[in-house]
């Protein structure tokens, strides 16, 4: 079974929600703008939940990973966490390139 977040060229699946459905499922690039990445799947933590904690504690990515484990397992959410910390975004409608471990 593929990981629920697949990133970059050739990605076959992504975690997401079908707008209006209230449910998550794996979606394919064919679903186009329905792609929605909003959490670390490995730790089951939403970015919206993580951001205030990160801001309060003054975490950079390394500190966030050490404190929560998010980004430290499969690492596929790491580029989203990095962008979240830089911009405050917590919902992403694009697949970001995988970062080297
Ligand atoms: S999705 Fe695997 S570490 Fe976040």
Measure the CA–CA gap between 30 and 35, rounded to whole angstroms.
Answer: 9
Domains of the chain: 1-37 (no CATH), 39-90 (1.10.10)
| H helix runs in the chain, sequence order | 47-57, 61-68, 78-87
Specify the pLDDT at position 26. Answer: 52
Mean pLDDT of the chain: 80
Mean pLDDT computed over 80-95 = 97
**Residue from 41, 66, 69, 95 whose mutation best tests the ligand 1 pocket (most atoms within 8 A of CB):** 41
Does the pLDDT at position 92 exceed 60? Answer: yes
Residues with CB under 6 A from ligand 1: 5, 40-42, 70-71, 73-77
User: Model's pTM, two decimal places?
Assistant: 0.71
pLDDT, tens only, 11-47? 444 444 444 445 555 545 555 557 899 999 999 999 9
């Amino acid at each position: 079974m593929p990981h629920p977040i697949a990133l970059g060229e050739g990605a076959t699946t992504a975690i997401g929600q079908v707008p209006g459905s209230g449910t998550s499922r794996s979606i394919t690039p064919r679903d186009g703008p329905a792609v929605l990445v909003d959490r670390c799947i490995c730790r089951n933590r939403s970015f919206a939940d993580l951001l205030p904690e990160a801001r309060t504690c003054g975490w950079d990515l390394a500190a966030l990973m050490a404190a929560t484990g998010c980004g430290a397992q499969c690492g596929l959410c790491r580029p989203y966490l990095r962008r979240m910390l830089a911009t405050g975004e917590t919902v992403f409608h694009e697949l970001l390139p995988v970062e080297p471990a």
